[in-house]
Amino acid sequence: MFVAFFASIFWRPTIGIYLLAFTLPAQTVRYRLHVYPLGAEFLDILILGTVLGLVVRKQSLIPKSPINRILLILAIFYYVSMWMGAFFLSAPLPWFFTDDRFSDWKNYVEMFMFAPLVAAAFKEKREIYILIIIMCFSVLAINRSYISLISSRDFSHFSYEARDSGALGYAGENGFAAFESMFASFLLGVCVYQKRILVKLAILGVVATNIYCLLFSFSRGGYIGLMVGVLTIGLLKARHYIVLLVIVLFAWQFLLPTSVQERITMTTQGTVAGQQFDSSSEERVTLWQGALELFERNPVTGTGFDTYQFMGTGGPYRDTHNYFMKVLAETGIVGLFLYLFLLKKLLRVGRKLFRAGGDRFWNALSLGFIACVTSSIAMNFFGDRWTYQQVGGYLWILLGCIIRGLLTVEERASTSVPEAFELTANEVPAIVA
């Protein structure tokens, strides 16, 4: 951390981002650093090093982007909403990091900073190549650890005891599955434009580990997220992805392990009265209904940012198990509108680069980003897959790469010089006449 901090200031601002990207998903690993000096501020120190490195080089910290304004508005809105929530809960005012709600707000808004910092620090395609490779190695390390962790467990039949969140820690098993689904969707989008066979095989190798870990996370929301990501890629570019998806949908009972089949089929159970949801699904529906009741009592601005987990209205659950319901309950119609507007902006930014990229690299990056976003949107219907840094942090890093791509395309367009207009000696008299 300290080496990357000073290297970011006095050598290259990208160094801090590289280390941040490698360690970001590994929440349980970073917890072990808390016993060391400033270990608890590991990510903050890396971000500060990148910021200072950009300042020393007199570079802009926030490059021009269509996403900047909505991020600033959201950061301010959530801060004000957090204070409103303190009065609603009759809780201490969130003055500093020692307050749990202030810490949650800081960690969430901190992800917003990833995008402009990446866009500002990374100037060349080669640097973004390295960043994505580092992310892939981080994912491989996460997956290797997970596979080693579950290797001795009995997966002949589904069991809740067999599930694990791996290195993503308190994000939970479903958060781990969301991370795997989002990154697999991104890589599958990138793979569409890859011509070199060895690189394509390497990408598919990483995706294979993602899918294996996703399957044995037993997260039905994660399965849906990956399918939505694949469908997005198929609709935008690669029609054969849709064919593959259809095959899986029709043949999953022959292709998937027995334990995974049991997890899927247990969503509904046959009774004398007909089909009904299993206990887990029923509990989610109950939580959603409770969130709607909170919204009806506070429809405009909600109960306040990050209040639901401290209310105790969900019994043993501290989440609504639907992020859209959580946004509606905590921040009301205003918060839901801003969140939906943010999602629209993310998709529009990715789509803009996808259409205007002009080369395979930017096209691949933007297609993968769009698939990652749509996968995340789908999974947020089943829980909070948005505010955890170890789950959604890569999406914001990739957003920074997309912004850099748009800036590169715009710079290329503005510096292109039209061909010189030359006249022959015979054409001059005719033009004068």
What does the pLDDT look like over 232-282, one tens digit per residue? 999 999 999 999 999 999 999 888 999 999 999 886 655 444 555 566 667
Which residues span the domain enclosing 28? 1-59
The answer to whether position 424 is within a domain reads no
Do residues 398 and 186 make contact, with C-beta atoms less than 8 angstroms apart?
yes
Q: Which of 39, 63, 199 is nearest to 133 (CA)?
A: 199
Same domain membership, residue 150 and residue 50: no
The answer to whether position 289 is within a domain reads yes
Separation CA 180–CA 213 (nearest Å):
7
pLDDT at residue number 416: 60
Separation CA 285–CA 279 (nearest Å):
10
Separation CA 395–CA 25 (nearest Å):
12
Do residues 393 and 219 make contact, with C-beta atoms less than 8 angstroms apart?
no
Residue range 396-406: mean pLDDT, rounded = 97
Is the confidence at residue 419, as pLDDT, over 60? Answer: no
Q: pLDDT-based confidence at 430, cuts 50/70/90? A: very low
Phi-psi region of 420 (alpha: psi -120 to 50; beta: other; left: phi over 0): beta
- Give me the number of domains the chain comprises: 2
Same domain membership, residue 252 and residue 113: yes
Asked whether the CA dihedral 43, 49, 53, 55 is positive or negative, the reply is: positive
The answer to whether position 330 is within a domain reads yes
Q: pLDDT-based confidence at 357, cuts 50/70/90? A: low
Separation CA 388–CA 254 (nearest Å):
35
Whole-Å CA distances, 126 to 45, 131, 133, 211: 25, 9, 11, 28
pLDDT at residue number 424: 46
Partners of 406 in beta bridges: none
pLDDT at residue number 333: 97
The answer to whether position 428 is within a domain reads no
The answer to whether position 408 is within a domain reads yes
Q: pLDDT-based confidence at 429, cuts 50/70/90? A: very low
Residue range 60-80: mean pLDDT, rounded = 94
Pick the most confident of 15-29, 87-101, 251-265. 15-29
Same domain membership, residue 266 and residue 331: yes
Q: pLDDT-based confidence at 285, cuts 50/70/90? A: confident
Same domain membership, residue 336 and residue 253: yes
Is the confidence at residue 206, as pLDDT, over 60? Answer: yes
Residue range 59-65: mean pLDDT, rounded = 91
The answer to whether position 426 is within a domain reads no
Is the confidence at residue 174, as pLDDT, over 90? Answer: yes
Is the confidence at residue 52, as pLDDT, over 80? Answer: yes
Same domain membership, residue 95 and residue 51: no
Residue range 91-113: mean pLDDT, rounded = 90
pLDDT greater at residue 129 or residue 423: 129
Same domain membership, residue 92 and residue 31: no
pLDDT at residue number 268: 63
pLDDT at residue number 421: 39
Same domain membership, residue 64 and residue 31: no
Is the confidence at residue 432, as pLDDT, over 50? Answer: no
Residue range 369-379: mean pLDDT, rounded = 98
pLDDT at residue number 370: 98
Same domain membership, residue 95 and residue 11: no
Same domain membership, residue 69 and residue 33: no
What are 13's two structure tokens?
């601002």
Same domain membership, residue 47 and residue 85: no
Same domain membership, residue 99 and residue 175: yes
Whole-Å CA distances, 236 to 189, 354, 367: 10, 10, 8
Separation CA 276–CA 294 (nearest Å):
26
Mean pLDDT for the chain?
Answer: 90
Q: pLDDT-based confidence at 427, cuts 50/70/90? A: very low
pLDDT at residue number 270: 52
pLDDT at residue number 22: 97
The answer to whether position 425 is within a domain reads no
Do residues 298 and 87 make contact, with C-beta atoms less than 8 angstroms apart?
no
Kindly report whether the global pTM for this prediction surpasses the value 0.75.
yes
The answer to whether position 429 is within a domain reads no
Same domain membership, residue 176 and residue 51: no
Separation CA 161–CA 153 (nearest Å):
9
